[in-house]
């Protein structure tokens, strides 16, 4: 009986040690997860998105978060990176573009907040008004479906062309083109660089600014920020579906829609970028 009692005690001790060991590993894992949850990885376009996020960073740091910002110069990789999990959020696009990317690439990304609007405008180094557009002139437009449609709608709303009803219209949907204008369809980031080779270009606000344009002054025509047509194009914070309610995403939304960010946008961009929260 004595030997049996000793054996029971030894086995109990081993089991207890094993449980303590497992508990320690679990605690370490929990600690690592907790630390990881305090890191927010966000992908942005350089301007104005990076500058706006920079204003939000101190607000997030006060809440114990570390923000890691990755800059992208195209419209494709930020959504791929978000879908693959290397980003927690991205901030560079509007909802129609996100919807098109979800549909065409099978992504499952969602918007959690609108932050600002960048009015799209028509720019040129050769003309100063629409009246100066000559017959057969070439206009550069973004080639992704949502922004190309947006560009054509801007031209149509200013009487340059007429287009058929529809959401994702293309040059094939132009129903009237009295000046026989030609359209050069380019990747959005390349449109500003083409301006010397075309008669005019319809440029997204986030690309017009780093290209040296001041939209409120330099655009020949520009979207009306109060129009119904412009409302879907507020730039959003996007996340992977299922992560909307995480603490760090809620903290990110709160920071990027804060009074501090609103004041920064209004003071810095003078109407070229407009807060929509």
263: Cβ contacts below 8 Å, ≥ 6 apart: none
Q: Do 238 and 111 share a structural domain? A: yes
CA dist., res. 56 & res. 188, Å (int):
27
Q: Domain for residue 17, yes or no?
A: no
Where does a domain end: 180, 198, 223?
A: 223
Can the peptide bond before residue 48 be classed as cis, meaning omega within 30 degrees of 0? yes
Q: What percent of the chain has pLDDT over 70?
A: 87
Q: Domain for residue 270, yes or no?
A: yes
Q: Which single residue is written with the structure tokens 């980003």?
A: 87
Q: Domain for residue 13, yes or no?
A: no
Q: Domain for residue 32, yes or no?
A: no
Q: Do 215 and 92 share a structural domain? A: no
pLDDT band for position 35 (cuts 50, 70, 90)? low
Q: Do 250 and 159 share a structural domain? A: no
Q: Do 130 and 201 share a structural domain? A: yes
Q: Measure CA 107 to chain center.
A: 15
Q: Do 154 and 86 share a structural domain? A: no
Evaluated on CA atoms 233, 237, 241, 242, the torsion sign reads negative
Q: Do 184 and 54 share a structural domain? A: no
Which residue range forms the structural domain that includes residue 131?
Answer: 121-223
Most distant pair of Cα atoms in the chain: their distance: 108
Q: Do 266 and 212 share a structural domain? A: no
| Range of lowest pLDDT (212-216, 223-227, 238-242) | 223-227
Q: Do 153 and 103 share a structural domain? A: no
The tokens of 12 are what?
Answer: 């109990």
Q: Do 208 and 133 share a structural domain? A: yes
Where does a domain end: 223, 244, 261?
A: 223
Whether pLDDT at 214 is above 80 = yes
pLDDT at 230: 85
CA dist., res. 35 & res. 31, Å (int):
6
Q: Domain for residue 175, yes or no?
A: yes
CA dist., res. 36 & res. 57, Å (int):
17
Q: Domain for residue 173, yes or no?
A: yes
65-117 pLDDT per residue, tens: 999 999 999 999 999 999 999 999 999 999 999 999 999 999 999 999 999 99
Q: Domain for residue 20, yes or no?
A: no
The tokens of 174 are what?
Answer: 């132009």
CA dist., res. 48 & res. 116, Å (int):
10
Torsion of CA 86, 90, 93, 99, to 10 degrees: 60
Whether pLDDT at 174 is above 70 = yes
Helical residues (DSSP H) of the chain, grouped into ranges: 2-36, 51-62, 77-84, 95-105, 145-157, 205-208, 215-218, 247-256, 259-269
CATH number at residue 182: 3.40.190.10
Q: What is the model's pTM? A: 0.75
CA dist., res. 202 & res. 150, Å (int):
9
Where does a domain end: 182, 205, 223?
A: 223
Quick one: which of 239, 252, 244, 236 has its CA closest to 64? Answer: 252
Q: Summarize the confidence of residues 155-164 as an average pLDDT.
A: 96
Give per-residue burial for 15-44: e unless 16+ CB within 10 Å, then b: eeeeeeeeeeeeeeeeeeeeeeeeebbbbb
Q: Do 240 and 112 share a structural domain? A: yes
Q: Summarize the confidence of residues 1-20 as an average pLDDT.
A: 41
pLDDT band for position 144 (cuts 50, 70, 90)? very high
Q: Do 136 and 58 share a structural domain? A: no
CA dist., res. 277 & res. 271, Å (int):
15
pLDDT band for position 14 (cuts 50, 70, 90)? very low
Domain count, the chain: 2
**β partners of residue 141:** 185
């Amino acid at each position: 009986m004595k030997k049996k009692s000793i054996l029971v005690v030894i086995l109990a001790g081993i089991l207890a040690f094993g449980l303590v060991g497992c508990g320690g590993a679990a605690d370490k894992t929990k600690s690592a997860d907790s630390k990881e949850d305090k890191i927010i990885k966000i992908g942005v376009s350089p301007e104005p998105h990076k500058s706006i996020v920079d204003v939000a960073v101190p607000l997030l740091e006060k809440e114990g978060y570390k923000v890691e910002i990755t800059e992208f110069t195209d419209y494709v990789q930020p959504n791929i990176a978000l879908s693959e999990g290397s980003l927690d959020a991205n901030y560079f696009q509007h909802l129609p573009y996100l919807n098109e990317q979800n549909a065409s690439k099978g992504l499952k990304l969602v918007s959690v907040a609108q932050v600002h609007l960048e009015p799209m405008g028509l720019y040129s180094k050769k003309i100063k008004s629409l009246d100066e557009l000559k017959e057969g002139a070439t206009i550069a437009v973004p080639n992704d479906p949502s922004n190309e449609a947006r560009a054509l709608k801007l031209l149509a709303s200013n009487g340059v062309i007429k287009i058929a009803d529809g959401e994702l219209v293309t040059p094939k949907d132009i129903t009237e083109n009295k000046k026989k204008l030609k359209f050069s369809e380019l990747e959005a980031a390349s449109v500003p660089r083409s301006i010397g080779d075309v008669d005019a270009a319809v440029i997204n606000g986030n690309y017009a600014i780093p290209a040296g344009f001041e939209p409120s002054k330099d655009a020949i025509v520009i979207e009306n920020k109060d129009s119904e047509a412009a409302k879907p194009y507020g730039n959003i914070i996007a996340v992977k579906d299922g992560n909307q309610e995480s603490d760090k995403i809620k903290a990110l939304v709160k920071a990027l829609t804060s009074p501090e960010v609103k004041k920064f946008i209004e003071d810095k961009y003078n109407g070229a970028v407009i807060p929509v929260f």
